[in-house]
């Protein structure tokens, strides 16, 4: 299968390579002059990180393997500090590189460590989950978590390239794969309705890595994000639309101590954002949102007794300006807008509509 290259524009342009059997493309994404490559990967992922290291060694690079905890546990200042020390011991210089292999948490961490080591070294990301391929690894936003919230400490560092080897999706647990669909569906609501049509035409097929439209869905969502971040790397305006559903989602993740899958939280957050859009007199896409999410097995409701705690979490959302809460809503299908300073009554009324 041939590789697709999706170009991300901007001051530091790069390519996202998508396909099966594309590992050989990895070295084409590294800039000239690299001697040492530090490969950051989950300690539970040797079957994928191993071939990456082998490909780099075969190309003549000195490879330093840096395993980290799996999942969100890796995104801490303690893990980052350990990696900084390891990079120092390995003699990684500004002309060298970091390669991040794994899910979204690992690619976030790898990008953050690369962006802060020596004030920035190049990073190539090899996402191995659906969520990481279509969202976390593309865009140049990198971060770690604090006890106060998710991704509150971070950097903007566009990668030198992203490599999406689709064969890695075959080994994903079904629930994890379906969770990644939430970000794809989000792309349909904010920018590309063809994504929604493809999922609605055959929801069961959309939940399989070998589905007839899997590659197209992945490439379409990557293109959505590439178009947005190429125009607005630092979230000065347009890029905020990618946070559709995320204000409540991040609050739910914190409430669950990050035990819930990100995509499942985003699915609930999108229903909340749709209800908020409707109650604010904007677009009414509530039923379509519930229908498509339910059809692929994603949740659409959350605990009725959690509102006060979730509201406290939402006050730390990165889109806020001072005391003013900001939400991404929809003015129409593929027409995202912003709702600034909504009343507490409106916010709570929308939550009652998604309470289980």
Residue stretches of the annotated binding site? 70-75, 104-108, 128-129, 141, 150, 183, 246, 262
Length of the chain: 356
| Residue 182: both structure tokens together | 């939430």
Quote the tokens at residue 315.
Answer: 């006050």
Residue 119 annotated as catalytic: yes
* Annotation says 254 is catalytic: no
Catalytic residue among 250, 254, 282, 313: 250
Cβ distance 161 to 15 under 8 Å?
A: yes
Do 104 and 77 touch, CB atoms closer than 8 A? Answer: no
What is the rounded CA–CA span in Å between residue 26 and residue 24?
5
Q: What residues are designated binding site for Zn(2+)?
A: 183, 246, 262
Q: Tell me whether residue 183 is one of the annotated catalytic residues.
A: yes
Given the residues 25, 41, 165, 183, the one annotated as active site: 183
Active site annotation includes 235: yes
Element (H, E) at 266: helix 262-279
Q: What is the pairing mode between strands 97-102 and 36-42?
A: parallel
9 is catalytic: no
Q: Which entry of 221, 262, 282, 313 is annotated as an active-site residue?
A: 262
- CA dihedral (76, 74, 150, 148) in degrees, to 10, reads -40
Residue 213: other Cβ atoms inside 10 A: 17
- Name every residue whose Cβ is closer than 8 Å to that of residue 204 and which is 6 or more positions away in sequence: none
Q: Is 216 a catalytic residue?
A: no
Selected catalytic residue, list 41, 186, 239, 290: 239
* Rounded distance between C-alpha atoms, residue 157 and residue 154, angstroms: 10
Q: Of 41, 186, 220, 246, which one is the catalytic site residue?
A: 246
Catalytic, out of 25, 41, 141, 318: 141
The angle subtended at Cα 151 by Cα 25 and Cα 180, nearest 5°, is: 55
- Establish whether 243 is a catalytic residue: yes
Strand segments (E) across 35-81: 36-42, 62-68
Residue position matching structure tokens 């400490």: 153
Beta-bridge partner residues of 38: 64, 98
Look up 141 and say whether it is catalytic: yes
Contact call for residues 157 and 142 (beta carbons, < 8 A)? yes
Residue that has been written with the tokens 């330093």 in this structure: 64
Question: Residue 271 has which token pair?
Answer: 């229903």
Residues belonging to the binding site for NAD(+) are 70-75, 104-108, 128-129, 141, 150
Given 225, 254, 282, 313, the catalytic residue: 225
Q: Tokens 């699915």 appear where?
A: 267
Active site residues: 119, 141, 183, 225, 235, 239, 243, 246, 250, 262
């Amino acid at each position: 299968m041939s590789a697709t290259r999706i170009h991300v524009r901007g001051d530091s342009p790069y390519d996202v390579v998508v396909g099966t059997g594309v590992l050989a493309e990895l070295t084409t994404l590294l800039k000239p002059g690299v001697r040492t490559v530090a490969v950051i990967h989950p300690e539970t992922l040797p079957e994928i990180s191993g071939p990456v290291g082998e490909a780099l060694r075969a190309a003549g690079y000195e490879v330093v393997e840096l395993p980290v905890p799996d999942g969100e546990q890796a995104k801490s200042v303690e893990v980052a500090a350990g990696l900084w020390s390891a990079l120092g011991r390995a003699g990684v210089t500004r002309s060298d590189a970091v390669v991040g292999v794994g899910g979204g948490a690992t690619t976030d961490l790898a990008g953050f460590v690369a962006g802060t080591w020596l004030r920035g070294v190049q990073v190539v990301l090899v996402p191995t989950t659906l969520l990481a391929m279509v969202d976390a690894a593309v865009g140049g936003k990198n971060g770690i978590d604090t006890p106060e919230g998710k991704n509150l400490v971070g950097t903007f560092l566009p990668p030198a390239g992203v490599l999406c080897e689709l064969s890695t999706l075959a080994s994903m647990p079904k629930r994890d794969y379906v969770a990644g669909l939430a970000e794809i569906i989000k792309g349909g609501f904010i920018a590309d309705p063809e994504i929604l049509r493809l999922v609605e035409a055959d929801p069961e097929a959309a939940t399989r890595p070998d589905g007839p439209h899997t590659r197209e869905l992945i490439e379409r969502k990557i293109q959505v994000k590439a178009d947005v971040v190429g125009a607005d790397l630092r979230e000065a305006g347009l890029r905020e639309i990618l946070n559709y559903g995320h204000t409540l989602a991040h609050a739910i993740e914190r409430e669950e101590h990050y035990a819930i899958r990100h995509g499942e939280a985003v699915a609930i957050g999108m229903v909340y954002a749709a209800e908020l859009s409707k109650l604010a007199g904007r677009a009414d896409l509530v039923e379509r949102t519930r229908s498509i999410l339910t059809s692929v097995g994603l949740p659409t409701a959350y605990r009725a007794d959690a509102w006060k705690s979730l509201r406290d979490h939402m006050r730390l959302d990165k889109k806020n300006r001072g005391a003013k809460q900001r939400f991404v809503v929809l003015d129409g299908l593929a027409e995202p807008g912003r709702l600034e300073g909504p009343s507490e009554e409106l916010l709570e009324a929308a939550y009652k509509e998604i309470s289980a």
